[in-house]
Homo-oligomer: A and B are copies of this chain.
Amino acid sequence: MFDNAEFSYSCCPISSELVDDSPFSCRKLNKKNKNKRRFSDEQIKSLESMFESETRLEPRKKIQLASELGLQPRQVAIWFQNKRARWKSKQLERDYSILLGNYDNLASRYEALKKEKQNLVLQKLNNDMKQKSSREGTDGEKAVKYESEAKTSVSMEKSEHVLSVLSDDDSSMKAEYFAIEEEQDQLLSMNMTEPADSSPEDWGSLNSETLFNESSGEYQWWDFWS
């Protein structure tokens, strides 16, 4: 397709003389001199409003709009192409910030839920202990006190921390503790909740700061965003 049409620019007075392409020739004149490139505000406005109704133009409208604005159909087409590209990257930014917000939201709920679960486990331990004690007729006051402050922020690697809550000088108690059935399953599942990934810290509490530390590679592995 010949773009023969001679670019009769309405908007860019570039006299052929002194194209001067020298990098800094353009340094002149700021606001004044409604310069060369850049469509007029009115042209932009028309294009934008058209884009809003439909992001792609049928050849019909393209030609019509072009003549209305005193532009080449080619220019209108290119403007729409570029606009679509810009819009797409804007959209990505929007989606990113939304996703980040949802992530943070979910992360805090995750933490809260984890804490609740740990309290439940402690209550259960306490309860089982009481039961066992009372069943044996010994005094049940050695049961652990939980104060709803289970220190969930520290990750427990091997259920050692859970046991440490039962800080006690009576080693026989630990032995009895392990005799209580189902308790081990519970503690196990508690650790399984953290899928043993290689992360340095608790992934659940990640924020945008620490999220992309080691992922600054050169390219990603799957081309989402087809």
B-binding residues in A (CB < 8 A) = 1-3, 6-7, 9, 12, 14, 16, 18-25, 27, 36-37, 72, 74, 89-90, 92-100, 102-103, 105-107, 109-110, 112-114, 116-117, 120-121, 123-124, 127-128, 131, 182, 186, 189-190, 193-195, 203-204, 206, 211-212, 215, 217, 219-220, 222-226
**In the complex, A72→B36 CA distance in Å?**
23
* Chain B residues within an 8 Å CB radius of A203: 102, 105-106
Q: Are A16 and B25 neighbours in the complex by a CB distance under 8 Å?
A: yes
* Chain B residues within an 8 Å CB radius of A182: 123
Instruction: Return 14 A-B CB contacts under 8 Å, by A number.
Output: A3-B27, A19-B21, A21-B21, A21-B22, A90-B219, A95-B211, A97-B222, A99-B99, A103-B106, A110-B113, A120-B120, A120-B121, A123-B124, A127-B127
Which single member of B19, B94, B97, B190 contacts A22 (CB below 8 Å)? B19
Q: Are B96 and A212 neighbours in the complex by a CB distance under 8 Å?
A: no
Q: Are A27 and B1 neighbours in the complex by a CB distance under 8 Å?
A: no
Given contacts A106-B106, A117-B116, contact A24 B9 (CB under 8 A): yes
Q: Are A72 and B19 neighbours in the complex by a CB distance under 8 Å?
A: no
CB distance from A154 to the nearest CB of B (A): 17
**In the complex, A120→B112 CA distance in Å?**
16
* 3 closest A-B pairs by CB: A19-B22, A23-B74, A120-B120
Identify the interface centre among A24, A100, A121, A195: most chain B CB within 10 Å of its CB.
A24
**In the complex, A12→B22 CA distance in Å?**
12
Which single member of B19, B37, B96, B195 contacts A92 (CB below 8 Å)? B96
Q: Are B93 and A220 neighbours in the complex by a CB distance under 8 Å?
A: yes
CB distance from A152 to the nearest CB of B (A): 12
* Chain B residues within an 8 Å CB radius of A109: 110, 193-195, 204
Q: Are B93 and A99 neighbours in the complex by a CB distance under 8 Å?
A: no
